[in-house]
Amino acid sequence: MYIIAGLGNPTKTYEGTRHNIGFEVIDRLADRCRTQVTVRKNKVLYAKAILEGERVILIKPQTYMNLSGEAVREVADYYKTEPENIIVIYDDINLEPGQLRVRQKGSAGGHNGIKNIIAHLGTQEFPRVRVGVGEKPKGWDLADYVLARFSPEDRKIMDEAVDLAADAVEMILREGVAAAMNTYNAKKK
What residues are designated binding site? 14, 64, 66, 112
Query: Do 127 and 175 form a contact (C-beta atoms < 8 A)?
Result: no
Residue positions annotated with a catalytic role: 19
Note whether 67 and 116 are within 8 A (CB).
yes
Report the C-alpha gap between 37 and 57 in whole angstroms.
Answer: 9
Q: Which residues does the annotation place in the binding site for tRNA? A: 14, 64, 66, 112
> Given the DSSP bridges, would you call strands 100-103 and 128-132 parallel, antiparallel or unpaired?
antiparallel
* Overall residue count recorded for the chain in this entry: 189
Which among 183, 146, 147 is positioned nearest to 165, based on CA atoms? 183
